[in-house]
């Protein structure tokens, strides 16, 4: 069968599914049944989801869990987390409980500036371009007023525009580099609209600028787009307590624990192979909240990792120290988030998640998300430097294997009993169940 298809987007959902089923599946009926099994019986709700993207054929579930008992700046939160990886929500909850009895998490918004750029080519005298920019700058602001009016009323808008000479990097390459405050919205639409307007103004004003030669008048705009690198949109989250207060069941010697914990962080600070995994653990917490609250996790991921490499070498996002008997652990991350606009008012579970967080402002959400990242990192490092990660992981993994094998309650009990004293492995559990079933 020819697996190329023309006009696919114009087919109805039913037709799309039929085509896919017959093109790719040995049992087309089963494929269709499975896809439809995941449709929501509430047609209105299904239509809403269908229309989020294009060529929708079904829904793809990711569990929504909650991590309660997060004490952040003296207020308790239950944090919604959408994530498919086992252990993450459990780890967050454990960290939350641990730190709630040790003063909780403290957070600070360092700044909230967003960035966008008009990338263009100019072939000519740079000093004339600089003069042109200085004389036209006010127009960039006044002629975007219809776009910025509402944002200004909410306290945001365009903060500044500068001309950047990038010709050292690429021939004829210049930028309009603009900074924005977008209050409670992530601001992508607002920023991109402003930038496209800047690009128009740039081109039309250059055409009539008397000092430019004909060639200089022909400014070529390559593209106008926000940057997901937001190194001036930073939140800090931290925990601290006297070293001896770190003691608990799995931490019989808090001094040794604190030292090893700090060493683990120092390793991630100097060793990129470890830093990537260390930061991945932080992103387990961050992404889960980002997803549950309808924010763009790809944007956040891209920006966070760029920030982790800002020194020129990829490094840990979190840091730890012991000073005068006090253990401190903190991270600073760039988070451009929104609690209005986008998916936040469209996706019913996003709305629910935001309500669970008591409808936070974007700044409050930045704090909550950063705390989820720090909590996750704390839980991972605590396991890694004490019992090892597999202990907890395999307990959760065991449950997934049992679900896969559709184990009965009796089988589950027998497995739990047996694997208390044996190392859990996928094949070990499968063999054990097979043996029971044979008997």
Which residues are tagged catalytic? Answer: 85, 280, 296, 393
DSSP 120: E
Q: Given the complex with ligand MEV, which of 278 and 367 has the nearer CB atom?
A: 278
Min separation Cβ 264 and ligand MEV, Å: 8
Give buried/exposed letters for 76-90 (b at 16+ CB in 10 A, else e).
ebebbbbbeebbbbb
Q: Given the complex with ligand MEV, which of 314 and 432 has the nearer CB atom?
A: 314
CA distance 370 to 289: 10
Min separation Cβ 263 and ligand MEV, Å: 14
Residues 270-299 binding ligand MEV (CB under 6 A) are 277-278, 280-281, 284
Q: Given the complex with ligand MEV, which of 198 and 307 has the nearer CB atom?
A: 307
Residues 76-115 binding ligand MEV (CB under 6 A) are 85
Using CB under 6 A as the binding rule, whether residue 64 contacts ligand MEV is answered as no
Residues 189-208 binding ligand MEV (CB under 6 A) are none
Say how many Å lie between the first and final Cα of the chain, rounded.
47
Q: What residue is closest to ligand MEV based on CB?
A: 281
Angle between helices 348-356 and 272-292 (to 10 degrees): 100
Q: Given the complex with ligand MEV, which of 384 and 402 has the nearer CB atom?
A: 384
DSSP assignment of 334-362, as one string? E----SBSGGGGT-HHHHHHHHHTTS--H
Binding residues for ligand MEV, total number by CB under 6 A: 9
CA distance 399 to 94: 19
CA distance 286 to 47: 29
Residues 388-407 binding ligand MEV (CB under 6 A) are 389
157: alpha, beta or left? (left if phi > 0; alpha if psi -120 to 50): left
Min separation Cβ 78 and ligand MEV, Å: 22
Residues 356-385 binding ligand MEV (CB under 6 A) are 380, 384
Give buried/exposed letters for 179-192 (b at 16+ CB in 10 A, else e).
bbbbbbbbbbebbe
Q: Given the complex with ligand MEV, which of 281 and 303 has the nearer CB atom?
A: 281
Min separation Cβ 383 and ligand MEV, Å: 7
Burial class (CB in 10 A: 0-12, 13-18, 19+), 394: buried
Q: Given the complex with ligand MEV, which of 200 and 280 has the nearer CB atom?
A: 280
| 436: Cα separation from own chain's centroid | 44
Min separation Cβ 85 and ligand MEV, Å: 6
Min separation Cβ 238 and ligand MEV, Å: 18
Residues 119-148 binding ligand MEV (CB under 6 A) are none
Q: Which residues bind ligand MEV (CB under 6 A)?
A: 85, 277-278, 280-281, 284, 380, 384, 389
């Amino acid at each position: 069968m020819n697996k190329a298809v023309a006009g696919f987007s114009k087919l109805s959902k039913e037709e799309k599914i039929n085509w896919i089923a017959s093109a790719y599946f040995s049992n087309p009926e089963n494929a269709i049944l499975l896809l439809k099994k995941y449709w929501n019986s509430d047609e209105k709700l299904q239509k809403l989801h269908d229309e989020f993207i294009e060529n929708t054929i079904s829904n793809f579930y990711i569990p929504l869990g909650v991590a309660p008992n997060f004490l952040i700046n003296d207020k308790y939160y239950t944090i919604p987390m959408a994530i498919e990886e086992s252990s993450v929500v459990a780890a967050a909850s454990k960290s939350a409980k641990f730190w709630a009895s040790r003063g909780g998490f403290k957070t600070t918004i360092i700044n909230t500036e967003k960035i966008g750029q008009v990338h263009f080519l100019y072939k000519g005298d740079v000093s004339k371009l600089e003069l042109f920019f200085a004389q036209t700058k006010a127009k960039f602001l006044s002629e975007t007023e219809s776009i910025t009016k509402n944002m200004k009323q909410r306290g945001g808008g365009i903060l500044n525009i500068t001309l950047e000479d990038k010709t050292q990097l690429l021939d004829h390459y210049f930028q309009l580099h603009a900074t924005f405050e977008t209050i409670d919205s992530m601001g992508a639409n607002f920023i991109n609209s402003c930038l496209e307007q800047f690009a128009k103004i740039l081109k039309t004003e250059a055409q009539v600028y008397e000092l430019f030669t004909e060639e200089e008048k022909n400014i070529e705009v390559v593209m106008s787009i926000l940057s997901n690198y937001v190194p001036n949109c930073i939140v800090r989250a931290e925990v601290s307590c006297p070293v001896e207060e770190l003691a608990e069941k799995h931490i019989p010697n808090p001094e040794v624990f604190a030292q090893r914990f700090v060493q683990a962080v120092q390793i991630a600070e100097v060793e990129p192979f470890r830093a990537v995994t260390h930061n991945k653990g932080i992103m387990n917490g961050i992404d889960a909240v980002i997803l549950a609250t309808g924010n763009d996790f790809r944007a956040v991921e891209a920006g966070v990792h760029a920030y982790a490499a800002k020194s020129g070498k990829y490094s840990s996002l979190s840091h730890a120290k012991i000073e005068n008997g006090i253990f401190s652990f903190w991270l600073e991350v760039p988070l451009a988030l929104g609690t209005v606009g986008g998916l936040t008012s469209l996706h019913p579970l996003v709305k629910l998640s935001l309500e669970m967080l008591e409808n936070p402002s974007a700044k409050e959400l930045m704090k909550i998300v950063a705390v989820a990242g720090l909590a996750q990192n704390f839980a991972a490092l605590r396991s890694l430097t004490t019992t090892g990660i597999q202990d907890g992981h395999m307990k959760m993994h065991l449950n997934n294997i049992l679900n896969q094998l559709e184990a009965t309650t009796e089988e589950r009990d027998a497995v739990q009993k047996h694997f208390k004293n044996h190392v859990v492995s996928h094949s070990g559990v499968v063999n054990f169940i097979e043996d029971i079933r044979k008997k």
